[in-house]
Chain A
Amino acid sequence: MTRLIRLTVNGRPHEVEVPTYRTLLDCLRYDLGLTGSKEGCGVGVCGACTVLLDGKMISSCIALAVFADGREITTVEGLAEDERLHPVQQAFVDFGGFQCGICTAGQIVAAKALLDAIPNPSDTDIREWMLGNLCRCTGYYKIIESIRAAAERSHT
């Protein structure tokens, strides 16, 4: 059983025919070729698949593609403008906010959502917001530094 869905991904409209059981993550990766978002745990815990649905971060591995019908999705591919990295991406590069990279797309999308909601977050805000994005390499300090730097840069 399939369904035709219309969704806007990173500002571009798409029409896709998907099996009803397609997850949003698989739709992004396999139907639309956007492989930035990753599957980690597959049960909504690790955050590697974090995308924004109408501006709100969700786990795309446990959202059905049909659930996103008529809505706007932002993935990590949609953050850089004209080859210029998004301030959060640039800060992760400058401050070593990633190592192996598997969690990075999710970290960056979540951090962007944080700065959209709280432009000037405290360290507690950062820790609370990001607690659902697991990283097995960095020990998190570099990620927190990166986000703090991205917030500070956007105010100067």
Chain B
Amino acid sequence: MNAFDYRMPRTLDEALAILREYGEEARVIAGGTALVTMMRQRLVRPSCLVSLRQVQGLDRIEATNGALRLGALVTHREAETSPLIRERLPVLSETFRRVATIRIRHMATIGGALAHADPNQDPPVTLMALGARVEIRGAGGQRELPLREFLRDYYETALEPAELVTGVTVPLLPAASGAVFIKFLPRTADDYATVAVAATITLEPDGERCREARIALGSVGVTPLRGRAAEGLLSGERLSENLLHAVGEAVKGEVDPLSDHRGSAAYKREMAAVMVGQALTQAWEAAQRSVRGAR
């Protein structure tokens, strides 16, 4: 690793001032699991690391109006084991549980993962399906972006050099909903997915027809992406083999995977359709259980 200055500001304003001072030369560090690995491989050589460890108030998980808010310094392990998240959005707990290993989850933070913007990560997929919004602080104050606008390209976000992520807000699901996150792992359990899918289904009061479906996919493009055309086929419909087939075909047209050692682009495209079918079936069953439970 290269030599660098290491700063530990005590407030967000101090952190932002250091970022302005160093410009593109500085990197924000929280848990460091992604950044230190990239620095060890000499993929990035920042001249200053700005540690957020001593900044207070960024590590809270709170219920707000119809949503959960997770501070940027909440670790993956804290999100996985939080009783509040497990009760309100179990799909999110399950997603964090599937990330890498416990060792990594103890260090890696939610804000760090979002700023890292690796298209193979798990949490952004579920967060995108749930319509999460990213909270950003810069010199000009605070702004908020939907996650799909925040994630711009391969390892690229909408963050300006002197901005940082302070949290993420995740809307709760309406009644009569089910949500799942599944990942296809042909190699090892702690690997990145070959294809990852998060799906939510909200049913009409009859418990049979779909009112709204949301599908997000990971590892099949330069960012996680929504399967909008596929979603459109589901509203008002009942679950059937024919419907899932049509949805799978639509998904194949929406993904744009890269070939790598986890699979060729053609294979990932086929598997995206398979995984969406499985995810929708499971989410549908969960939504029906929720309807029956409410009766």
Nearest Cβ on chain A to B38's Cβ, whole angstroms: 10
Q: Which residues on the B side are within 8 Å of A67 (C-beta)?
A: 32, 51, 53
A13 to B49 alpha-carbon distance, docked (Å)? 26
Least CB separation from B53: chain A residue: A67
Does A142 lie at the interface of the complex (its beta carbon under 8 Å from any beta carbon of B)?
Answer: no
Does A57 lie at the interface of the complex (its beta carbon under 8 Å from any beta carbon of B)?
Answer: yes
The total of interchain contacts (Cβ-Cβ below 8 angstroms) comes to: 76
Least CB separation from B104: chain A residue: A44
Q: Mark A40-79, 1 if CB is under 8 A from B, else 0.
A: 0011110100100100111100111011000000000000
Give the secondary structure class of B's interface: mixed
Residues 20-55 of B at the A interface (beta carbon under 8 Å):
29, 32-33, 36-37, 39-41, 49, 51, 53
Does A3 lie at the interface of the complex (its beta carbon under 8 Å from any beta carbon of B)?
Answer: yes
Supposing A21-B2, A21-B3 touch, asked if A129 and B104 sit within 8 A by C-beta, the answer is no
Q: Are B6 and A3 within 8 A (Cβ)?
A: yes
Does B103 lie at the interface of the complex (its beta carbon under 8 Å from any beta carbon of A)?
Answer: yes
Number of A residues, CB within 8 Å of B: 26
Supposing A43-B37, A62-B33, A132-B190 touch, asked if A20 and B4 sit within 8 A by C-beta, the answer is yes
Q: List 23 A-B contacts (CB under 8 A).
A: A19-B3, A21-B2, A23-B36, A43-B41, A44-B33, A44-B104, A45-B101, A47-B101, A50-B103, A56-B77, A58-B103, A58-B106, A59-B33, A59-B103, A62-B36, A63-B32, A64-B49, A66-B51, A67-B51, A131-B188, A131-B190, A132-B103, A132-B190
- With A43-B37, A131-B189 known, 20 other A-B pairs at CB within 8 A are A1-B5, A1-B6, A21-B2, A23-B36, A44-B33, A47-B101, A56-B106, A57-B103, A58-B103, A59-B103, A59-B104, A62-B40, A62-B107, A63-B36, A64-B36, A66-B51, A67-B32, A67-B51, A67-B53, A131-B101
Size range of the interface on B? 20 to 34
Residues 111-165 of B at the A interface (beta carbon under 8 Å):
none
Which of B37, B51, B102, B188 interacts with A57 by CB under 8 Å?
B102
Q: Are A1 and B103 within 8 A (Cβ)?
A: no
Which of B3, B37, B53 interacts with A44 by CB under 8 Å?
B37
Q: Which residues on the A side are within 8 Å of B102 (C-beta)?
A: 57, 129, 132
Q: Are B40 and A42 within 8 A (Cβ)?
A: yes
Q: Are B3 and A20 within 8 A (Cβ)?
A: yes
Q: Mark B49-79, 1 if CB is under 8 A from A, else 0.
A: 1010100000000000000000000000100
Q: Are A62 and B101 within 8 A (Cβ)?
A: no
A53 to B49 alpha-carbon distance, docked (Å)? 21
Q: Are A1 and B3 within 8 A (Cβ)?
A: yes
Nearest Cβ on chain A to B226's Cβ, whole angstroms: 30
